[in-house]
Amino acid sequence: MPSGQLVRQWTLLQELAVSRLGRTAAELARAAEASARTVRRDLADLEAAGFPVERLRDGREVRYRLAHAKALPQIPLDLHEALALHQAALTASLFHNAAFHEPLESALRKILRTLPQGVRNHLGRVSAAWSHRSPASSRAGLLHTLRLLSEQAADRCRVRMRYHNLEDELRDRVVDPYLLRQHNTDVYLLAHCHFRGEVRLFHTERILEVEPLDEEYQMPPGFDPDRVFAESLGVFLGPAGHAVVRFTGWAARYVMHRPLHPDQQVLERSDGHVVVRVPVRGHAEITQAVLRFGDRAELLGPPDLRAHVAQQVRTLAERYDSPS
């Protein structure tokens, strides 16, 4: 099967899997960037291959989805494999994309049903001991957006996208996509923005439309996208530097067990406090990291970062001293 057809059919499967009401041929054609005729042919191929493609009549339209009631053939898992799969699915439910929340929960229940009663009872108690909030709904089409961005980044080709930023501005931008970076449960795009003329970070949930362009780009000589994040506490951009922070009490114990960064250096340590040096980019990320520990953290330097945190603390003090 040609690679383009394989990618297109995988896109169709993703669209069918996350839609309860189904997708029309026109909607699938837009997602797969193909004609409706090609989509119908691909759907017929998928159905012939054993995928449960279901057709739903909606007035004059036909909608397609994967039939939820049709079970797969029995998978011959042994007990070790079933336990490993159950644990993987259970822990993944804390971080996965909202589009697959319900299918993953359903898979967990089905795995439990295949196990002996005693094992099932034990794992049921284990599952009940895990508490997490269902993920917020993702923007429709996010999976398609991520697929397009990853393909263009792999091919070193530009994209045109419509982006809604935090300043409530909606703009069309042409960018050179370098890589996708997951941080906590969010996915960000690191790219050179031709509108700004610099490397920027884009939250993929706020990318409303993506158009792949047949325009290749070259990575700047010596530029290492992974290094950008290696010098950051998270996914912030800004001038690379270091910060020195003193933690006391419970905060000192916390940052020793859970370092702020893999390259964290301990400069001083006693029973009551610890002083660490961590890489940072800009002011925002280290300010957030320090303030989250309240009076148990103090940013010692460099002076410009300390002054910035001090100003934030004064602003907060004035706000809370004023009547609400």
Q: Write out pLDDT tens, residues 204-260.
A: 989 998 998 989 999 888 888 878 888 888 888 888 899 999 999 999 999 999 999
Query: What pLDDT, on the 0 to 100 scale, is given for residue 193?
Result: 94
Q: Which long-range contacts (CB under 8 A, 24 or more apart) does 13-20 make?
A: 13/46, 13/51, 13/66, 14/143, 14/144, 14/147, 15/143, 15/144, 16/53, 16/64, 16/65, 16/66, 17/66, 17/100, 17/103, 18/99, 18/100, 18/143, 19/65, 20/65
Please list the residue range(s) of the chain that carry CATH number 2.30.30.
Answer: 143-221
* 67 compared with 162, residue with greater pLDDT: 162
Mark 237-265 as b/e (b = at least 16 C-beta within 10 Å): beeeebbbbbbbeebbebbeeeebbeebe
List of residues 6+ apart from 257 with CB closer than 8 A:
none
Averaged pLDDT score across all residues of the chain: 82
pLDDT digit string (tens) for 111-127?
Answer: 777 777 777 777 777 66
Q: Tell me: the pLDDT tens digits for 126-158? A: 666 666 665 565 666 777 788 788 888 888 899
More confident residue, 55 or 247: 247
CATH 1.10.10.10 placement within the chain: 3-66
Which one has a higher pLDDT value, 92 or 165? 165
Predicted pLDDT of residue 181: 85
| pLDDT at residue 82, rounded to an integer | 73
Q: What is the pLDDT averaged over residues 260-267?
A: 92
Q: pLDDT value at position 324?
A: 67
The single residue listed with the structure tokens 């822990």 is 91
Sheet with 265-269, edge to edge strand ranges: 265-269, 273-281, 240-248, 297-301
- Among 62-76, 163-177, 204-218, 241-255, which is the least confidently predicted range? 62-76
How would CATH label the architecture of 143-221? Answer: Roll (2.30)
- Strands, E assignment, the chain: 23-24, 53-58, 61-66, 157-164, 170-183, 186-193, 198-203, 207-216, 240-248, 265-269, 273-281, 297-301
Q: pTM of this prediction?
A: 0.62
pLDDT of amino acid 159: 94
pLDDT of residue 113: 76
Report whether CATH 1.10.10.10 matches the domain 3-66: yes
What is the model's pLDDT at position 70? 54
pLDDT tens column, 269-314: 988 899 999 999 888 889 988 999 999 999 999 999 999 999 999 9
